[in-house]
Amino acid sequence: MTTETGRPALEARDALDERIVVTATINGDERSWLSSSRDSLLEALRERLQLTGSKEGCNNGNCGACSVILDGRLVNSCLVMAAEVEGASVTTVEGLARPEALHPLQTAFLENAALQCGICTPGFLVASSALLAQNTAPSEEEIRFWLAGNLCRCTGYDKIIRAVQQAAEEVRTGVHRSPIAGTGTHGAEAGVESNTAIEGE
């Protein structure tokens, strides 16, 4: 059986492929799980760990919907094998907010209506958080250049750029200038239960 993208479904991969245990730090917690040796990181996140925030758009590295941060680097998780993240640290969109507050980017996307269908949004949020982690005062040109690998088919990009600019200002100054509540700080470890057992056995 195959999925709509022509890839073998989870059950088929498990039946055909060698199964491996992968241990990595996901959103601040050590996680170990059984993967097929052919699982991409995106498949492992979504299908083994039930972290479905990362989206599959193209599955070939073109859309950025699957963006995650791997050991401090922004990557397309559809292009990374799950086995490659052994011992690594991965931050997904689920790791951005704290329980008490959204990430400033999440608040800014809401306040600027920077999404419609939302499929691209996790990727934009993760990619933008990687930008703000190294540059809290990006120019519009720098934001557009950084986000060139993230595609949106709904909103157009201006609202997204405005949202990133607003979040950058908040991160830089610590001042939330919108009347809508929500002044979180970046917290990759927040909101995820610790789980060191092997999952999927």
Which residues of this chain interact with ligand FES, rule CB under 6 A? 56-59, 61-66, 76, 78, 115-120, 152-155
122 versus 187: smaller Cβ distance to ligand FES: 122
112 versus 190: smaller Cβ distance to ligand FES: 112
Residue 49: closest CA among 39, 59, 58, 57: 39
113 versus 198: smaller Cβ distance to ligand FES: 113
Give the integer Cα–Cα distance in Å for 198 and 94. Answer: 20
Residues 188/27, Cβ–Cβ less than 8 Å: yes
Give the integer Cα–Cα distance in Å for 80 and 185. Answer: 28
Residues 86/26, Cβ–Cβ less than 8 Å: no
3-state secondary structure of 52: coil
21 versus 79: smaller Cβ distance to ligand FES: 79
CB of 127 to ligand FES, least distance (A): 11
CB of 47 to ligand FES, least distance (A): 14
The CA-based angle 98-101-106, given to 5 degrees, is 95
CB of 53 to ligand FES, least distance (A): 13
CB of 55 to ligand FES, least distance (A): 7
Distances (CA, A) of 20 to 2, 11, 47, 81: 21, 15, 15, 12
66 versus 93: smaller Cβ distance to ligand FES: 66
Give the integer Cα–Cα distance in Å for 118 and 137. Answer: 26
35 versus 59: smaller Cβ distance to ligand FES: 59
CB of 194 to ligand FES, least distance (A): 28
CB of 58 to ligand FES, least distance (A): 4
Residue 111: closest CA among 187, 176, 67, 54: 176
